[in-house]
Amino acid sequence: MDLKIKNKVYLISGGAKGIGAAISTILSEEGAIPVIIDPSVEEGKKLLNIVYGNEGKAAQFPRRLTQVQDAKEAVAFALNEFGRIDGVVNNAGANDGIGLENGTPEKFRASVEKNLAHYYDLVHFALPQLKVNKGAIINISSKTALTGQGNTSAYTAAKGAQLSLTREWAVELLPFGIRVNAVIPAEVMTPLYRNWIDTFDNPEQKLSEIQQRIPLEKRMTTAREIADTVVFLLSPRSSHTTGQLIFVDGGYTHLDRAIGT
């Protein structure tokens, strides 16, 4: 299937590792141009080398979006490099475990700001280009926004807000033909997830327990499976889909996990 995204330019925050790297890779495979917004320079170089080796185009803006100016300059960088922006993938973030008892009000506020504000900032500055090109926006959220997890109040608050913004922006941007959707992963083996698993006394046993609770095939979702859905939603092949919260999780969030046991 031709996704009709050749030479279109997409911003991906956190685009050098994990789910973001998979999105950047598949966009390039489909002939699109990923702009990787990520401070992970070495990982970014590896991705760029692969893209260039396949005669594709890409660029990295090696910065974390911690300040408003960072997002503004990321958009300016993309326009300077490629002259257009066709979509935004808000993906960067981290579950930093700020809960009610193991956090403070100050840490809570800082964590919500870190995981949420740059979603708004990047879209705000990219919006003029998105209007011109009838672009698309994808917000990567998390099943924790709906299921809870425990001891992670700030992260789940930010993730829930991302889902709310998805619906709000879908309404606000209807007159411009800009589609806005959210993709919601559950259990995906990313570098951050691996770091979390390794905090347990028996990491492989913990991983096996988690996999047994995933209804479809008792396995983790791959980053590429998330990315396939994201890239489809970015493309004109998904031309009448907006305001949707789409779960790519092997049934983890909604199916009875006792099925098949």
Question: Any idea which residues carry the catalytic annotation?
Answer: 155
CA distance 221 to 256: 17
**For residues 89 and 19, is the Cβ–Cβ distance under 8 A?**
no
CA distances from 250 to 59, 234, 258 (A): 32, 21, 13
CA angle 119, 122, 125 (to 5 degrees): 140
CA distances from 84 to 17, 29, 204 (A): 24, 19, 45
Q: What number of H helices and E strands is found in the chain?
A: 9, 7
CA distance 201 to 250: 27
CA distance 116 to 93: 8
Q: Where are the beta strands (DSSP E) in 100-234?
A: 136-140, 179-185
Residue 248 has which token pair? 């790519």
How does strand 179-185 pair with strand 245-248? parallel
Residue whose tokens read 């970015």: 234
Dihedral, 193, 194, 197, 198 alpha carbons, nearest 10: -140
258 bridge partner residues: none
